[in-house]
Amino acid sequence: MRISLSARGLGAVLLDIEGTTTPIAFVHETLFPYARAHLDQFLAAEIGSPLITDVTRKLAAEHREDTARGEPVPPWREKTADALMQSLRGYLRWLMDRDRKSPGLKLLQGEIWERGYKAGQLRGEIYGDVPPALRKWREAGIDIAIYSSGSELAQRRLFASTPHGDLTPLIRGFFDTAVGAKGDPDSYHRIASALAREPREIIFVSDVVTELAAAREAGLAVVLSLRPGNPVQPGAQDYEAVTGFGQIEP
């Protein structure tokens, strides 16, 4: 199928990353292992910094919530620097093992990846149809924004370091879970407000049905991304779907 943005009165495209602009394999087989492999070194170098203080505050709050729910979390202790280090290592690995969309974890991963991108050890990966679509949409006056559970910093670095060059000038806004969870309709209202758009003027493209449901409840148009390797999901048949961005025309 083909979608005409202008015919539907749509002036903005909001994009997920994993499974939409970028292969799931890149996230799970490159980015996640890189963050895990460099976790201890990064913590040791940054312990006591404002960044780790912020991460610690976020993680301590998340740990309390997990404990209250009866989750089998590793212990959390902060009485000494060594105890805090062990707590951070243990809980962060526990979150990684579960692929949790933890704000504290995502903030830390973004900073670790930032070093990897700067060192030339990481380079953003996107589908080949993404750059020409972004350029075509922008030339037509369509706003483009990204909404991902990965930190805003991680999003920017991915799109700045692709084999197709720096694509960030084409993107008006980057949004992470600081605006709210992707399954919460209010998050999409906040994004629409930030873009100075009515929800009905925005189309959200994602590979996750629950995210599309939340965006649709908020009044956005939605379309399912069916990229190679994306898992089959219950309810997917209820959504318009595209297999590439070439099917979304200005």
Amino acid identity for residue 249 in this structure: E
Burial grade of 126 (CB within 10 A; 0-12, 13-18, 19 or more): buried
State yes or no: pLDDT of 182 exceeds 90.
Answer: yes
Please report the beta strands in 6-123, taking only residues with DSSP state E, as ranges in sequence order. 12-15
Q: Is there a contact between 127 and 21 (Cβ–Cβ < 8 Å)?
A: yes
Which residue ranges make up each domain of the chain?
A: 3-22+124-249, 30-118
Q: Is there a contact between 2 and 247 (Cβ–Cβ < 8 Å)?
A: yes
* CATH code for the part of the protein at 30-118: 1.10.720.60
Element (H, E) at 147: strand 143-147
Q: What are phi and psi of 241, to 5 degrees?
A: -140, 150
pLDDT average, residue stretch 236-246? 95
Given this model, what pLDDT does residue 95 score?
97
Vertex 229, ends 223 and 230: CA angle to 5°?
Answer: 35
How confident is residue 87, by pLDDT bands cut at 50, 70 and 90?
Answer: very high
State yes or no: pLDDT of 1 exceeds 90.
Answer: no
CATH class of the 3-22+124-249 domain in this structure:
alpha beta
Given this model, what pLDDT does residue 145 score?
98
Burial grade of 14 (CB within 10 A; 0-12, 13-18, 19 or more): buried
DSSP state of 22: B
Per residue in 57-66, pLDDT (tens digit) is 999 999 999 9
Per residue in 196-228, pLDDT (tens digit) is 999 999 999 999 999 999 999 999 999 999 999
Per residue in 122-132, pLDDT (tens digit) is 999 999 999 99
pLDDT average, residue stretch 142-166? 96
